[in-house]
Amino acid sequence: MLRTFAIGLLVAGGACAFACGGNGDNSEFGSSGNGTSGGDGTSGSSGFGSSSDGMSSGASGTGGQPDECKKMDIVFIVDNSGSMSQEQANLKTNFPNFVKVINEYKTKSGAELDYRVAVATSDAIKEKGAFRTVRGAGATANCSPGPNRGWLERPDGDVAGFFTCRSSVGTNGSGRELPLESAYLSVSGINAGFVRGDALIAFVIITDEDEGGVENNGAGSPVRPDVTTYIKDIDAVAKGTGRWAAAAIAGPGPGKCTSAGLGDAAEAKRVRQFINTVGKNGVFSSICAGDLSQGLNDALKTFDAACKDFPPSGVN
C-alpha cells in the first residue's frame, strides 16, 4: 500500500514503478534510463506500470499499521536564468505526460491520488520561493494559468495546461541561480497552506547551473556554503526525516556537458551534494540527456519509493 506524500520531482526503483495498482495503462512515461540515486549511486528505470500486482506495503505507521499513500504535494523549481529557454520548452513537451501518470494512478485500495503541484523559480533573492500564479514570460500568448491559487489540484481540470502556462517562466531571472534556497523557502511559510502534514513533500529541481553559479562560469556563490544544512531545515518543515524527497535534473560533470537538445550545462556540484545527502529519497539525473522525460521518470520512481517508506510524523 502506498503512503501519503508531498513533492518537489520524479521516482525510481524496484519491481513496481509509480503506476502500479493503476487502471491498466502500463505505458512508460517518456524514455527510461538510469539516473543517479543519492543513496547508492544508481537508480534503475524500468518505466511506470512494470508490475500488475499493486503497490507493496510500506513501513509501519503508528501502532504498526502501514499507512496508505493518498497525497502528494509537488514543487517544481525551474531555473529562469538566461540560458534556460530550451529546457523550459522541453518541460512544456513532457509535463502533460507527467500529469497523465498521476491522474491515472490509483492506490491499492482504488482511491485516486490527492496531489498538488506548484512551480517556483531559481531566483530566490527576488522571488523568495513564491509560487507562480500567472502566465509565465515564456508562455504561449493567452494561455490560462488556472485558478488564483499558488498550486494546482486534480479538481482544477486542465492541470497540464495550467501548469505549462505557469512553468514557462522565461529567462529574465537572476544569473545567480539558487534552486536549493528556493526549494526550502517555497515550503517554509511564504506559500501559506501548501504543506500538508500528512503528505510527502517532494521537490523537482531543473537547472543548468550549480547552486550560486552565474551563467556557466561558476562565479557566483550560494546562500549557504554548506548546502547540507538544508536537510535539517526541511526535516523540520516535514516533521521528520524521510517525510520528503528530492529530484534534480542538472549538469552531472565533470566539467561542462552539452546536449544537442538542451544546450550546455555546468557541473552542479553543490546540487549533487544536496541530493547525495538526501540519501535514498533523492535522485540526480543529467540535464544533458537531451530530453527531460528521463529525469522526470527517475523522479517519479524515487517519490514512489519514498511513499512506500513514509514514516509517521515526528519519527526520525
Q: Dump pLDDT digits (tens) for 42-60.
A: 343 333 333 333 333 333 3
Indicate if the pLDDT at residue 32 is higher than 60.
Answer: no
Most confidently modeled of 26-40, 64-78, 142-156, 290-304?
142-156
List % helix, strand, coil for the chain (3-state, nearest 5): 30, 20, 55
**% of the chain with per-residue pLDDT over 90:** 53
The pLDDT value given to residue 68: 53
**Mean pLDDT for the chain overall:** 80
Indicate if the pLDDT at residue 97 is higher than 70.
Answer: yes
Mean pLDDT, to the nearest integer, of 110-131? Answer: 94
d(CA 88, CA 90): 5
The alpha-carbon radius of gyration of the chain (Å, integer) is 18
Helices (H) then strands (E): counts for the chain: 7, 9
Between residues 252 and 112, which one has the greater pLDDT?
A: 252
Bridge pairing between strands 71-78 and 257-259:
unpaired
Q: For residue 219, name the pLDDT band (cuts at 50, 70, 90).
A: low
Tracing cell 529546457 back to the chain, one arrives at 87
Query: If residue 258 lies in a helix (H) or strand (E), which one and from where to where?
Result: strand 257-259
Please determine, looking at this structure, whether the domain spanning 36-49+69-308 carries the CATH number 3.40.50.410: yes
The pLDDT value given to residue 271: 97
* Phi-psi category of residue 274: left, alpha or beta, with phi > 0 → left and psi -120 to 50 → alpha: alpha
Indicate if the pLDDT at residue 290 is higher than 70.
Answer: yes
The pLDDT value given to residue 142: 93
- Say if CB 99 and CB 58 are below 8 A apart: no
Mean pLDDT, to the nearest integer, of 130-158? Answer: 96
Task: Residue 75: name the closest of 18, 113, 117 by CA.
Answer: 117
142: how many CB neighbours lie within 10 A of its CB?
7
The pLDDT value given to residue 31: 39
Indicate if the pLDDT at residue 39 is higher than 50.
Answer: no
The pLDDT value given to residue 173: 92
The pLDDT value given to residue 176: 92
Query: If residue 121 lies in a helix (H) or strand (E), which one and from where to where?
Result: strand 114-121
Mind listing the pLDDT tens digit for each residue in 229-287?
999 999 999 999 899 999 999 999 999 999 887 888 999 999 999 999 999 999 999 99
d(CA 278, CA 39): 8
Q: For residue 62, name the pLDDT band (cuts at 50, 70, 90).
A: very low
